[in-house]
Amino acid sequence: MAFAFDNQWDDATTSAAVCGAMAGCHGQDLYRSERKLHVFRDMLWCGASHQAVAEGVILGECVNLVRRLVNEAPSVMTPVRFAEEATGLADTFGLEIDVWDEQRLQQERCGALLAVARGSAHPPRLVTVKYQGSDEADAPIALVGKGVTFDSGGYSLKPTDSMKTMKGDMAGAATVLGTLVAARRLKLPVNVVGYMGLVENMVSGDAYKLGDVLTSRHGKTIEILNTDAEGRLVLADVLDVAVSQGASRLIDLATLTGACMVALGTDVTGLMTNDQAWCDELVAAAQMCGEPVWQLPMFAEYAEQISSDVADLKNVGESRWGGAITGAKFLENFVGQRPWVHADIAGPSFAEKAKAWLDAGGTGCMLRSLIQLLRELG
């Protein structure tokens, strides 16, 4: 519990400080008999307004929600379990939720998402969470999250070191869920819909293969040349759902490419867009929150790398160069003319080593920036 006395700080500083203190008290040691970090029973904030402290508590709890989901063991946090967590949170905070099971996904022709899920014993889910804080006639902002609850790489099998942190390949979906909960608790005057595509990418006799050609919900066909480029296949169908359901603008969050980490390191989110003004709004919000982002180009020439001789698209570029951008160019095919920003959070969403202010594991990055953006839009 947090208490405030004597309003001397500005509210933005207070909220950020409270959020940071709450995140700093929680660790990834969910299964240790003796925890390394211990949560304070009470915190006293001098020179802070009650409202700012309350908002900071909400942000801190939602950042920690994202971190807990990411830090959970992958055999526990399956697609079905994630959907159950989302349903419980929606019931608790009064959010509208819709969960598509495997049969509904087949009815909706989500062929790309279903192909990725085929190799796993755990069935896929598509979770939609709606928050209406504005006039019903206002078209919602769509937040789309990649939710690969574990990524083995499929037949393009990852080496052991690269697979160790793949329980965090659902950080995009976790961030979307945490953001929707925060928007509802803060009562932001904006309409937001979160879409989370949930799968496991595993190897089995029925797993999708190199050389397969998939048909996406949009209708575009996709040649598979790397089963470890699975997140873009999931997002292709989920982005199409968001567009077809009337989203005005879109932001997707995904641990999409190691190439983005090569380009920007592990602390910076890469942004790519089809609409500069929309991207500028997200950049401004991230700068306000102190979350480092950097925009990468989306030159038309990059699309040539994902042109296929046997299908409409192939799921990886001709070479490894510019891999973060070719991944974004692939996704661009599924957003139509809607303003869209792709946020590649592969680096900052999971810290392999503890920092002075945050334990290792899931970080909850970009949640505060998204809330700042939604606040300004409202």
Residues with a catalytic annotation lie at: 158, 232
- Comparing CA positions, the residue from 126, 165, 168 lying closest to residue 149 is 168
Closest CA to 239 of 190, 308, 176: 176
Structure tokens at 153: 């790489």
User: What letter does residue 139 receive in the DSSP assignment?
Assistant: P
Residue 340, amino acid: W
Encode burial over 152-174: b for 16+ CB neighbours within 10 A, e otherwise: bbbbbeeeeeeeebbbbbbbbbb
Angstrom distance (rounded) from CA 240 to CA 14? 39
Intra-chain end-to-end CA distance of the chain, in Å: 28
State the number of CA atoms in the 13 A half-sphere of 251 facing the CB.
Answer: 32
Would you tell me how many other CB atoms lie within 10 Å of the CB of residue 253?
A: 28
Residues ≥6 apart with Cβ < 8 Å to 175: 66, 145, 253, 345, 349, 364, 365, 366, 367, 370
Q: How far apart are CA 57 and CA 115, in angstroms?
A: 40
> Is the CB of residue 208 less than 8 Å from the CB of residue 224?
yes
Neighbours of 42 (CB within 10 A): 7
Nearest in space to 18 (alpha carbons), one of 33, 49, 359, 222: 49
37 CB contacts (<8 Å, ≥6 apart)? Answer: 25, 26, 27, 29, 359
